[in-house]
Amino acid sequence: DIVMTQSPDSLAVSLGERATINCKSSQSVLYSSNNKNYLAWYQQKPGQPPKLLIYWASTRESGVPDRFSGSGSGTDFTLTISSLQAEDVAVYYCQQYYSTLVTFGPGTKVDIK
Amino acid sequence: EVQLVESGGGLVQPGGSLRLSCAASGFTFSSYWMHWVRQAPGKGLVWVSRINSDGSSTSYADSVKGRFTISRDNAKNTLYLQMNSLRAEDTAVYYCASPGDWDYFDYWGQGTLVTVSS
């Protein structure tokens, strides 16, 4: 199984400041034949299902604000919220879909400082 | 508008069975693979199972293999999860989810809570 880890477990950021979440996979999720990273990011607010933010490591889902961006390759990835808004308070998960056994990271909780 | 609506959750005793349903609308259900993902209370997301578009191919997480069965009825635009031999650790909100062009999930239902307890 590909194990996903995230850091930090939680962070508190002032409104308008940058939030950075890291995700690491236990093996590369970069498929060399198409040069694509099989990595997605989700946002989950209390009592709601997850919402897809980013797929293919850096492609923003339609309708997602451009303050959300994804980067990285191979085993190390980052989700950046460039200017934190109050509505961004949530838990964020990364997910690999390189393996048929898809796995999620444990989540990172983002709060307002 | 894509909608996925789960139902069938509830309280069941250990060793019992339950069948979850997911009614899909707003897209051509019969063309898409479908998945179940679960989330124990206060915990993270765990993939459970997938089924291909015509129901001929399925796969499962090791934790549910041999106990859970995924199926679909494309005429009814409905996905199912038959859960047998339920354990306390199966307690979770179960989401159905539809994938994008690969196994990332662009649409999710609201989830249905399954509680396994005596």
β-strands B68-73, B78-83 pairing: antiparallel
In this predicted structure, what is the pLDDT of residue B115? 98
What residues form DSSP beta bridges with A14? none
A9-49: per-residue pLDDT in tens? 999 999 999 999 999 999 999 999 999 999 999 999 999 99
- Does residue A33 belong to the interface with chain B, where contact is any CB pair within 8 Å? no
- Among the partner-chain residues A49, A55, A107, the one whose CB lies closest to the CB of B100 is A55
In this predicted structure, what is the pLDDT of residue B100? 87
- Does residue B104 belong to the interface with chain A, where contact is any CB pair within 8 Å? yes
- Whether A93 sits inside 8 A of B46 (CB atoms) is no
For CA atoms B26, B28, B30, B35, give the dihedral sign.
negative
Cα Rg of chain A (Å, integer):
13
Residue A61 carries which DSSP code? Answer: P
Provide φ and ψ at A47, rounded to 5°.
75, 5
Tally the C-alpha atoms within 13 A of residue B18's C-alpha that lie toward its C-beta.
23
Work out the mean pLDDT of chain A and round it to a whole number: 97
Q: Which two tokens stand for residue B110?
A: 């609201």
Counting as low any pLDDT under 50, the low residues of chain B are: none
Provide φ and ψ at B80, rounded to 5°.
-130, 155
- Whether A106 sits inside 8 A of B44 (CB atoms) is yes
Strands (E), A1-113: 4-7, 10-13, 19-25, 30-31, 36-37, 39-44, 51-55, 59-60, 68-73, 76-81, 90-96, 103-104, 108-112
Cα–Cα distance measured from residue A30 to residue B64, given in angstroms and rounded to the nearest whole number: 28
In this predicted structure, what is the pLDDT of residue B65? 98
- Report the chain A residue with the minimal C-alpha distance to residue B113: A47
Cα–Cα distance measured from residue B76 to residue B24, given in angstroms and rounded to the nearest whole number: 9
- Does residue B103 belong to the interface with chain A, where contact is any CB pair within 8 Å? yes
In this predicted structure, what is the pLDDT of residue A4? 98
**Are B85 and B102 within 8 A, CB to CB?**
no
- Report the chain B residue with the minimal C-alpha distance to residue A41: B104
A46-91: per-residue pLDDT in tens? 999 999 999 999 999 999 999 999 999 999 999 999 999 999 999 9
- Among the partner-chain residues B104, B106, B109, the one whose CB lies closest to the CB of A95 is B104
Peptide bond into A49 cis (omega under 30): no
- Whether A52 sits inside 8 A of B105 (CB atoms) is yes
| Chain A residues in contact with B110 (beta carbon < 8 A) | 48-49
Give the residue from B45, B59, B98, B106 with the most A CB atoms within 10 Å of its CB, the best one to mutate: B45
One-character DSSP codes across B75-90: TTTEEEEEE-S--GGG
